[in-house]
Amino acid sequence: MNNKNKLTPLKLARLSLYQGCLGCLAVIFAGMLNRIMISELAFPAILVGGGLAFEQLMAPSRVLFGNISDSWPLRGLRRTPYIWLGTTGFCLMAILSIPLIFLTEKALRQGEVLPITACSLGLCLLFALYGLAISMATTPYLALVIDLTTEEERPKAVGVIWCMLTIGIVVGAIAISITTKGLDGITQPEILQPALQKFMFWVGGIVLAISIFACWGIEPNLNKSNLKKSSSKEVGITESWSLITSSRQIIIFFSFLILYTLGLFLQDPILESYGAEVFNLPISKTTLLNAFWGCGTLLGLLLGGLWITPKLGKIATARMGCWMIVFSLVLLIFSGVNNNVNALYGILVVFGIAAGIATNSALSLMLDLTLPAVAGTFVGIWGLAQALSRAMGKLLGGGLLDIGRFLVGPEENFAAFSFVFTLEIIIMLIAIIVLRKVSVKQFKQDTAERMETLLMADLD
């Protein structure tokens, strides 16, 4: 790799700053607006959940945006322009969300069907555009990380970048807490809207400014010869799909990502309820559960990226992390038997460490299972797998809890939660079995042969 194309510590720090901004804005956009719409503005929960679901429904666009960034450089840059365009888009959608939310609240309050329908559709469209912008920004961003790193460097880079994402989420949560402190108990739209509009305007502006700084000058500009070479070997969406279907390893790893992510996040929607209903924790204590998990994840990402993955290898580390998650889930069930709150906190830290270790190696594997010429397209495929499984986790977590309550009775809270955790363990065990069939070497062999065939066909 050319030294000019290398991911130096300074470049890594700046790229990590961008990831931190993404985490910060994501928790503000989804977390704060979710709370404001349901609690203060009395929106129907189905409208809020349905609107936010439109963001996840845009996940298939990741493949398209990845291919576009591979094939259509802008002013000699393949990744950075799309990162900036996407960032501008989701910052703008975040700012525009405030007036649209309060317009919808007014329509709901007046009770007229046509305005309610129009505003609800507009809200869903805004969330969909937000999801499209996120896809446009994040897919080329990960492809840029691939462009600038070798296979040996990626575990450390992934560890640092995703640690910054976690820090950004914490910063976003703190920003929400400070901003909404003076709004406790206030439900009047005329007071809420100006305060939230000003806050979101500043957040969007700051995130956009930091994002431009973070990515400025990091991507090497393609010179004319490289640009010409790139355009003569352009791989369009049809050829990319041919590459995607050329290796059985792609289907195997796609399946692993879905199973792993689902097994990791199935408990996410019900974790605080587990603390409240089984351990009788108040709201102030249940909100700490995710904090313990988050701190453990931060530590696990660092341990995995800087120490464990370089020593054991990516697949061995991913396997170890998955087994640690299984062990943590078993302990999570047993902690409910004794109602030991301190044990619960400690287990969640261990669970977070396991999640961080497994996530670091899984993401590193994800970045390895690409081809340089179509890195964006493959990142789009892997991003689609993660987004689909995260959406399924949010949807199925609560639904499975309801099924568990139906099976064991509404009074058996512990048994109902254990039902969900047990299914999560089974899913993770299946993910471990699928992981055994993943081979980076076989993937590279299959796709390289197909890529050569495609390029030879272009020459003919």
Can you give the pLDDT of all 460 residues of the chain as single tens digits? 555 567 788 888 898 999 999 888 887 877 666 667 766 677 876 677 677 778 878 888 988 899 899 888 888 898 999 999 999 999 999 999 999 989 999 898 888 889 989 998 998 899 899 999 999 999 999 999 988 888 888 888 888 898 888 788 778 777 776 776 666 667 688 888 888 889 899 999 999 999 999 999 889 887 644 544 444 345 555 665 666 677 789 889 999 999 999 999 888 878 888 988 899 888 667 767 877 888 898 899 889 988 999 899 999 999 999 999 999 999 999 999 988 899 999 999 999 999 999 999 998 998 888 877 778 888 888 888 888 888 788 778 778 888 888 898 878 889 999 999 999 999 999 999 999 999 988 888 877 776 666 555 554 5
Nearest CA-CA partner of 237 in 140, 132, 381: 381
Nearest CA-CA partner of 317 in 295, 333, 330, 301: 301
The pLDDT assigned to 237 comes to 53
Tell me, yes or no, if the pTM score tops 0.85.
no
**Residue found by looking up tokens 């990845």 in the block:** 66
Instruction: For residue 98, give every residue at least 6 positions away whose Cβ sits within 8 Å of its Cβ, in sequence order, or none.
Output: 193, 196, 197, 200
Tell me if 173 sits within 8 A of 32, measured CB to CB: no
The pLDDT assigned to 451 comes to 65
Sign of torsion, CA 59 18 294 45?
negative
Tell me if 127 sits within 8 A of 54, measured CB to CB: yes
Q: What is the DSSP string of 235-294?
A: --HHHHHHHHTT-HHHHHHHHHHHHHHHHHHTTGGGHHHHHHHHH---HHHHHHHHHHHH
Beta strands per DSSP E along 23-150: none
Nearest CA-CA partner of 72 in 186, 235, 290, 275: 235
Whole-angstrom Cα distance, residue 332 to residue 276? Answer: 14
List, in sequence order, the alpha helices (H) in 181-247. 189-215, 224-232, 237-244
Indicate if 230-460 has the same CATH topology as 1-221. yes
DSSP category for residue 306: I
CA-based Rg of the chain, rounded to a whole angstrom? Answer: 23
Whole-angstrom Cα distance, residue 259 to residue 426? Answer: 10
The pLDDT assigned to 224 comes to 46
The CATH architecture that domain 1-221 belongs to is: Up-down Bundle (1.20)
Sign of torsion, CA 65 66 70 73?
positive
DSSP category for residue 74: B
Structural domain boundaries in the chain: 1-221, 230-460
Tell me if 338 sits within 8 A of 114, measured CB to CB: no
The pLDDT assigned to 287 comes to 65
The pLDDT assigned to 103 comes to 92
Q: Coil, helix or strand for 77?
A: strand
Phi/psi class of residue 76: alpha, beta or left (left: φ > 0; alpha: ψ in -120 to 50)? Answer: left
Tokens linked to 119: 């505003």
The pLDDT assigned to 427 comes to 96
Could you give phi then psi for residue 23, rounded to 5 degrees? -65, -40
Whole-angstrom Cα distance, residue 167 to residue 163? Answer: 6
**Residue found by looking up tokens 């709370």 in the block:** 35
CA-to-CA dists, residue 53 to 129, 134, 384, 396, 439, angstroms: 12, 14, 14, 13, 34
Nearest CA-CA partner of 381 in 246, 264, 267: 246
Residue type, 369: L
Instruction: For residue 81, give every residue at least 6 positions away whose Cβ sits within 8 Å of its Cβ, in sequence order, or none.
Output: 74, 75
Whole-angstrom Cα distance, residue 356 to residue 259? Answer: 16
Whole-angstrom Cα distance, residue 193 to residue 82? Answer: 31
Instruction: For residue 90, give every residue at least 6 positions away whose Cβ sits within 8 Å of its Cβ, in sequence order, or none.
Output: 25, 130, 133, 134, 137
Whole-angstrom Cα distance, residue 155 to residue 314? Answer: 8
Per the DSSP assignment, residues forming a β-bridge with 74 are 77
DSSP category for residue 369: S
- Domain 230-460, CATH among 3.40.50.720, 1.20.1250.20, 1.10.10.10, 2.30.110.10: 1.20.1250.20
Could you give phi then psi for residue 371, rounded to 5 degrees? -115, 135
**Residue found by looking up tokens 């099924």 in the block:** 403
The pLDDT assigned to 334 comes to 94
Burial of 159 (0-12, 13-18, 19+ CB in 10 A): buried
The pLDDT assigned to 151 comes to 83
